[in-house]
Structure 1
Amino acid sequence: MPIAVYVLGLSIFAQGTSELMLAGLLPELSADLHVSIPAAAGLLISAFAVGMLVGAPVLAVVTLTWSRRTALLLFLGIFALTHVGGALTPNYAVLLVTRVIGAFVYAGFWSVAAVTVVALVPANSRARAMSIVAGGLTIATIVGLPAGTMMGQHLGWRTAFWSVAGLCVLAMAGVLATIPAGRPDPDRRPRLREEVRALANSRLWLAFCTTALVTTAILVVFSYLAPLLIQTTGLTPGAVPGVLALYGLGSFIGITLGGRTADAQPFHTLFTGVAGLSILSAILALTAASTVVAIAVIVLLGGFGFATNPALNARVFSLAGNAPTLATATNFSAFNVGITAGPWLGGLAIDAGAGYPALGWIAVATGLTALGTVLVAALLPVSSPDHSDRCGSGRSRRAG
């Protein structure tokens, strides 16, 4: 695996830490900027999600013919500057603007990084390479989130922002040293017309639906793990970070194993991951009051949920053929649709008085719907060799 793939994973760790650490910084941030915690959480997190949702396709088109190294360096540089600005500002509105801009370029970085990985590795290693890049986000859950929280509690929330800026500078040095500088070969340079034409493939949109539904099933529970563990399971607030770290560890193991199977068996990986996610969500809904069972199920939820990530990405690469840039960006937006929809659906249930265990049943319904899209995709006839996935052995080839 080229060292550049690990550098891109480090870059995602740096930016993903910023995405996640806000949850642990809200008390200090709200007190310092004189805003309520609900306002800070709602607006800052929603603004980040919207910035990511819009940024991926827009920046994928804008940078289509750029040097990938130039685009990656620019995005990292802007992301670092938004955190310098956020660390220096005494104004909540300015912080909100920096979060939107940061999320916008973070989404662009994801899109360009994914296409860069595709160009750096053989076709039969794409899912594994993407699992390494996306693994940076799971490590951010294990390391970045608790570290940012500790910094916020002991050194002030601004220290965490300065730390992210510093990590981004280190990532820029790595990109500069490992990513090729030239523009894409003129004969292989992405063309907007071909990229748009690739999106006409209905199988791609089925894959995007799967991505959004699986992500929704994961986030509807994950977004409310802390109050579920405290109010339903009965854990003390001090024990929650440890359970979240275990969830992150499960996610890291899941995405690593999924990356090793998704290239050869994309549908088997999806079937196993989504089915496991649905079953475990039902178990959590039924046993959330049991401490030992709830913690074990939460760790496994991270594993099965994130095991699907490499297969979700690999299917899009396969279906897009020689025009993966805009398709990859759209798939990234589909992830963010799920990131937005999951907490929203969970919030509706909680506001209606359903209770935190009901979140598991929402995840079951969403997961089973996602499983339905996978089954439909697996049963569709092959239209061309370039737009096919393998399910199981080489004897059975079906379109994704």
Structure 2
Amino acid sequence: MPFFLYVLSLAVLAQGTSEFMLAGLVPDIAADLGVSVPAAGALTSAFAVGMIVGAPLMAVVSMRWPRRRALLAFLVTFLAVHVVGAVTTSYPLLLATRVVAALANAGFLAVALATAAALVAPDAKGRATSVLLGGVTLACVAGVPGGALLGQLWGWRSAFWAVALISVPAVVAIVRSVPGDVPAAAAVGGAGGAGGARGELRALRRPRLLVVLLLGALVNGATFCTFTYLAPLATDVTGLADGWVPALLALFGIGSFLGVTLGGRFADSRPLPLLAGGGVALFAGWVVLGLTAGVPAAVVPLVLVQGTLSFAVGSTLIARALYEAVDAPRLGGGFATAALNVGAALGPWAGGLAIDTGHGYRSAPWVSAALAAVALATAAAAWLSTRAATRPARAAAPAE
């Protein structure tokens, strides 16, 4: 894989750390800024909304920019608002920085996906995607726990400074290693990929692409439903001590890294067996976790297994979206990013709804299983529909 992909992955690591690190910083932020804990928690929601809206919006805004200019604009903006967030004493300003950071993050990831798809071999999109998403998984393994540790040692502002500092070498490396003479959207099929923004939007209407995006949202929703409530599930249902929680989160992160590595190996050559087998195994794993949530010996290995399966299937779906959106390179990456973040918002909301209605933390893996079941049913219906549509064409074909 080209060196510049690893440069982009470093920036994605910083951005993934920023997206998830507030989970361990909310109480300190609330106390420091004199707001309630739910108000501080809204900083996470603001980031999620910014990612959902920002991915396609920023992809359109930057469509005519050279790829290097677009990546630098988004990354420098992301870096700058973290510096502002680290020094501000105003909650409204901090909230605004989270929205802007999410917009910049979404735009960067959309352009990075388009750039990766354009500058690697036509049959290597899955491997390129796995390198980029490796930054997200490393954020889960090291960045988020590291941010929480910095917050405990030197206050929540130190975590914001750390994200800004991690972004600096990525800025320098992008200047040196990423080609910048052609718009990323122009790398496939002319400027804008398919006749500018309108052409790309037309290309995005393809049913197969829409199905892939829906599956990505459902699978990611299942993933983040249980991941969001993993800590209380482990302590209140499984009966593990609080000290186990960081280990379980790290174990899930290790699984996610293994998953994107597995996806990168097979997403280009054997995507359908991976999606079919991995999807069924993922659904079964959520069911088993729901049934055995009170058994530590079952929960600990299942956290690793489900992290691996979730990210293997999820990263493969992103790669398939890039293949299906070949005529919409910039918006394809933008909508893939938006779909994942719709899932990241949908899953915790659905899990929280089940918990609030009295079903307890054990309900989280069952909601994940339900979302995975809907994904399997959707994939099966799409496959059957495709077979039914192609059968008359085969029957009408003249015999050799």
TM over 0.5: yes
Q: CA deviation at 1:284?
A: 1.0
In the aligned structure 2, how far is the partner of 1:309 from the partner of 1:180? 28
Asked if 1:306 is matched to 2:311, the reply is yes
Q: Percent identity between the aligned chains? A: 46
Q: CA deviation at 1:262?
A: 0.8
Asked if 1:35 is matched to 2:35, the reply is yes
- When residues 378 and 259 of structure 1 are mapped into structure 2, their CA distance, relative to the original with a 3 A threshold, is farther
AA of the residue aligned to 1:8: L
Q: How does 1:1-400 map to 2 (within 5 A)?
A: 1-41=1-41, 43-184=42-183, 188-190=190-192, 191-381=196-386
- What SS does the corresponding residue of 2:131 show, helix, strand or coil? helix
Q: CA deviation at 1:344?
A: 0.5
In the aligned structure 2, how far is the partner of 1:165 from the partner of 1:229? 32
Deviates more, 1:181-190 or 1:227-236: 181-190
Q: CA deviation at 1:382?
A: 8.3
TM-score calculated relative to the size of structure 1: 0.92
In the aligned structure 2, how far is the partner of 1:18 from the partner of 1:172? 16
In the aligned structure 2, how far is the partner of 1:229 from the partner of 1:163? 29
- When residues 344 and 124 of structure 1 are mapped into structure 2, their CA distance, relative to the original with a 3 A threshold, is same
AA of the residue aligned to 1:273: G
The C-alpha deviation readout for 1:78-119, integer Å capped at 9, x for no partner, is 101111111001111111110011001100011000000011
Whether contact under 8 Å (1:131, 1:309) holds in the other structure is: no
Aligned to 1:397: none
Whether contact under 8 Å (2:27, 2:40) holds in the other structure is: no
Whether contact under 8 Å (1:76, 1:169) holds in the other structure is: no
- Structure 2: runs of 5 or more not aligned: 389-400
Q: CA deviation at 1:380?
A: 4.6
Aligned to 1:396: none
The C-alpha deviation readout for 1:268-305, integer Å capped at 9, x for no partner, is 11112221221111111111111121111111110000
In the aligned structure 2, how far is the partner of 1:379 from the partner of 1:268? 16
Q: CA deviation at 1:355?
A: 1.1
In the aligned structure 2, how far is the partner of 1:167 from the partner of 1:68? 21
In the aligned structure 1, how far is the partner of 2:369 from the partner of 2:293? 15
Deviates more, 1:146-155 or 1:263-272: 263-272
AA of the residue aligned to 1:113: A
- Alignment coverage as a number of residue pairs: 383
Deviates more, 1:136-145 or 1:318-327: 318-327
AA of the residue aligned to 2:31: A
The C-alpha deviation readout for 1:27-74, integer Å capped at 9, x for no partner, is 222221122223311x11110000000111111111111101001001
Aligned to 1:395: none
- What SS does the corresponding residue of 1:194 show, helix, strand or coil? helix
Q: CA deviation at 1:153?
A: 0.2
In the aligned structure 2, how far is the partner of 1:135 from the partner of 1:106? 16
Aligned residues: CA RMSD: 1.7
Q: CA deviation at 1:321?
A: 2.5
Aligned to 2:395: none
AA of the residue aligned to 1:274: G
